[in-house]
Structure 1
Amino acid sequence: MWSLLVICVVNALLILNTGALKIPRRSTKVPPGFVTTRGREFELEGKPFAFVGANSYWLPLLLTEDDVERTFKTMQEAGVKVLRTWGFNAINATELTSALDSGLTYYQVWNSSQWVLNDGPQGLQRLDHVISTAGKHDIKVILAFTNNWVGYGGSDLYVQWIAGAGQPHDVFFTDPRIIASYQSYVKTLVERYKDSPNIFAWELMNEARCLSDTLPAGPNCVPGSNTLKTWYQQQSDFVRSLDPNHLITTGGEGHFYWKKPLEYWYNHTLVSDYNYNGQAGEDFDHDMLLPNIDFGTYHLYPQSWYSELDFPGSNWTVENWGLQWIDEHIQAANNIRKKHLCELG
């Protein structure tokens, strides 16, 4: 079963950069079938486009075209109009034999500082089929370019193969060699699908943070460093230079960086809340001001984020915190007059 993708919509405002640097901008007139924004709405073919979606990251990993077809048929019957999926799955060369034997979908193979693209029948041709089948069932696709986490060959493969051992996770966002490699892969995907009305939006990264599950954050990615914001701007501008028509978003979890972050009591100690103190690296209020970020995203995992507070008899509840988190993003989006999208994993 797929996870729920909930769409929450507020106003959008064009943010203009008045500096000397010319920033590529989204076209004001998109081709037929492309989703765009107007005022308080997503819009499709000149009409408001409201929808329920699915977080279906696993779709390109299905081994047969029949499985893909049946999945989309079920989604269409359920009223799904938008889905989010991975545009990435990378492996090390040592895993290639196993991947070939199992039929695993993979797009990149790493054996040096440069990955090798797999655009064959076990690679991007499977993603082609997902994108084309989505269109047959009147469903749009949000496509994520890479993962913050080690799963599915995420950003730490770039760090390990290009920057080398001993480097913190956040060099992914700053090392020019890594950025060039990431952009090379992004360009491959964008140029492959930029004319497709089946794409709803490009997503720069799934859940970008200063750290990952295998590598720590370094001293250059701390609250207020704007490491992620700078990367979001660079990469959204890069994607926009390749594609003037599709929407672009971050894929972030929506962490805040408040001057007075929330705190909570745990084990007789007042704890600064990670979701509000900037340690993750995001600054939702300001990241959403970037000119080529068309709408915001946020995720919520209260039972794992607050496991120490989520126990029987506690006055803290998943429901109350979840409603608070949603409302805080609604207010933040209202303040900057942009749309936001809640991706419930």
Structure 2
Amino acid sequence: MLTRRDILGTSAALVATLSFPAAANSDVFVRRRGTGFTRGGKPYRYAGGNIWYGAYLGADAPYGDRDRLRRELDALAATGITNLRLLASSEVSPLKNAVSPSFRDKTGPANRALLAGLDYCLAEMAKRDITAVLYLTNFWEWSGGMMTYLSYVNDGRYIDVGDPAHPWPDFPDATSEFYENAPAVALYHDWIRTLVGRTNSVTGTRYREDPTIMAWQLANEPRPGGREAVVARRLPAFYRWTQGTAKLIKSLDRNHLVSTGNEGLKGSGERADIYRTAHAFPEIDYCTAHIWPLNWSWIDAKDIAGTHAAGTAKVAEYLTQHIALAKELGKPLVIEEFGYPRDGGGYDPEASTHFRDLYYGQIYDAVLTSARTGGPVAGSNFWAWNGEGRAVHGDHRFRKGDTAWLGDPPHEPQGWYGVFDSDASTRALIKAHAAAIATAGAPIAG
């Protein structure tokens, strides 16, 4: 969303040299079976959310707040949430909208407190039986991401989103150079080895043996570029990066699922063949889709009431397209990001969520219908949980040094899409869906 390597030879060697102790009970992990997930031998379907900043709250540092993290997880659990998608890498970056502090710099782990914050967050999630999807870098600038990796190896060169000298889609075109830049990918792969090989400092459990983790995700919203000609040129490298990184993760960890983090057709140059190829690799366990009606100009923030119906039709079509693709691929589908503005485009908790609630209801109806009819949609993650977080500044902009973490990342207005703890109607809707999806009884295809 807009607001948001060939280093393969080592994989075979790692498979040959690593030994994996058998898990005490493999059923404690989320597994893929055909077009569904299982856990404990039973179908696993879930209502989830996004809380990218979980590790930040979990850090025992001035920017952390473990008491708030526990309260947020309690609130999410009480709302029926059983899966959370979290940022598991951020890169020390020259980009103006990149979050700080960050997990790593050019040389490797730069912030041990933040890594320990991720440990703490996972440990607390385990107490509440909430599973995690951890994404390992970002196509977008707000956590450093791929553009920052490129800056590490090209003498510090980069471009910012919104730079007048580099109008859209210069940023995605330039960022997609990452896939064919072997030194940049090597640094990223080193981070994967660090994180997947980590032992949780709170629980003493190795990450690769922790059933709290449901899946590793290659990146948040990886795209092969922006302009059609650039996408075509980058595709071979993009495919090699996708499969090669997934192979690397699988060589390090046999217990957890792997997914791309892709937006769907919007992140695939509007081409079904690109989405299909990227998700057909056997190392990719399930399909993903993100849905952003406002970002994609399907609705008008100044006239939500007048444009909502037309946006609803486009959302329905997008869902239908991705359900069909998942069926064709024979893999589960997760609607792992979906967001909608508050009525009138406001950012404060006082602004109504009438149309947002209608949109959430549309997504949840599609998920539940799929579950009840044996379809491939296995879960969903709304974007995102603000909880107790509130904008600090009157202009709702994030500024360096802010620690009132919200689900809206630093490059976005604080309060734009996030669900506050005071959003009673939205939380009731989520809770009702969570109860329904937990008991949806259709067998899993495959």
TM-score of the superposition, structure 2-length normalised? 0.58
1:105 is displaced (CA, Å) by 4.6
**Residues in 1 aligned to 2:75 and 2:152: alpha-carbon distance in whole angstroms:** 40
TM alignment of 1:173-184, pairs within 5 A: 173-184=179-190
Which residue is equivalent to 1:228? 238
In structure 1, C-alpha distance between the alignment counterparts of 2:145 and 2:246, rounded to whole Å: 19
- One-letter code of the match for 2:175? H
Deviations 1:179-203 (A, max 9, x none): 1100000111111111111101000
Q: Does 1:248 align with 2:258?
A: yes
Q: In the alignment, which of 205, 212, 227 is matched to residue 219 of structure 2? A: 205
Contact 1:254 1:283 in 2 (8 A): no
Taking only the aligned residue pairs, the percentage that are identical comes to 24
CA distance in 2: counterparts of 1:23 and 1:301, whole angstroms: 39
1:276 matched residue in structure 2: 270
Q: Which moved more, 1:44-53 or 1:31-40?
A: 31-40
Instruction: Give how far 1:326 is off.
Output: 0.7
What residue is the counterpart of 2:109 in the other structure?
Answer: 117
* Change in CA separation of 1:276 and 1:93 when aligned onto 2, cut-off 3 Å: closer
Output the CA distance in 2 between the equivalents of 1:301 and 1:318: 10
| Alpha-carbon distance between aligned partners in 2 of 1:38 and 1:94, rounded to the nearest angstrom | 41
Give the secondary-structure state (helix, strand or coil) at the position aligned to 2:318: helix
Which runs of structure 2 are paired with 1:123-138 in the superposition (5 Å)? 123-138=114-129
Deviation at 1:230, TM superposition (A): 2.2
Counterparts in 2 of 1:337 and 1:92: CA distance versus 1, 3 Å: closer
Shift of 1:49: 1.1
> Are positions 1:331 and 2:324 aligned together?
yes
Q: Which runs of 5 or more structure 2 residues have no equivalent in the other structure?
A: 1-11, 16-20, 58-63, 160-173, 199-206, 339-382, 384-446
Would you say the 8 A contact 2:88–2:118 is kept in 1? yes
What is the DSSP-based 3-state SS (H/G/I as helix, E as strand, rest coil) of the residue aligned with 2:261?
Answer: coil
Q: Measured at CA, do residues 94 and 342 of structure 1 come closer, stay the same or move farther in structure 2, by a change above 3 Å?
A: closer
1:338 and 1:23 mapped to 2: Cα distance? Answer: 27
CA distance in 2, matches of 1:335, 1:107: 38
Aligned partners of 1:185 and 1:145: how far apart in 2?
A: 8
Matched, 1:54 2:46: no
| Structure with a larger share of its residues in helix | 2
Q: Is the 8 A contact 2:14 2:252 kept in 1?
A: no
Structure 1 residue 306: Cα displacement:
2.2
Q: Relative to 1, partners in 2 of residues 1:322 and 1:220: Cα closer, same or farther, differing over 3 Å?
A: closer
- Paired with 1:330 and 1:234, the residues of 2 have a C-alpha distance of 26
Distance 1:314 1:78 in 2: 30
Shift of 1:275: 5.3
8 Å CA contact 2:259, 2:288 repeated in 1: yes
Residue type of the alignment partner of 2:184 = I
User: Which one of the candidate residues 284, 287, 296 is aligned to 2:278?
Assistant: 287
* Deviations 1:206-252, CA, capped at 9 Å, x for gaps: 011234xxxx7796542783432221111101111111110000001
Higher strand share: 1
C-alpha separation between the residues in 1 aligned to 2:215 and 2:102? 22
Structure 1: give runs of 5+ residues left out of the alignment.
Answer: 1-20, 258-273
Structure 1 contact 256–283 (Cα < 8 Å) conserved: no
Equivalent position amino acid for 2:69 in 1:
V
Partner in structure 1 of residue 352 of structure 2: none
Query: Residues of 2 paired with 1:310 and 1:119: CA distance?
Result: 38
Counterpart of 2:255 in structure 1: which amino acid? N
Per-residue CA deviation, residues 262-305 of structure 1 (Å, 9 max, x unaligned), is xxxxxxxxxxxx85248xxx821221110110001111112221
Match 1:106 to one of 102, 107, 119: 102
Counterparts of residues 154-173 of structure 1 (less than 5 Å): 154-164=145-155, 165=157, 168-173=174-179
Aligned partner of 1:306 in structure 2 is 297
For 2:22 and 2:232, how far apart are their aligned partners in 1?
Answer: 37
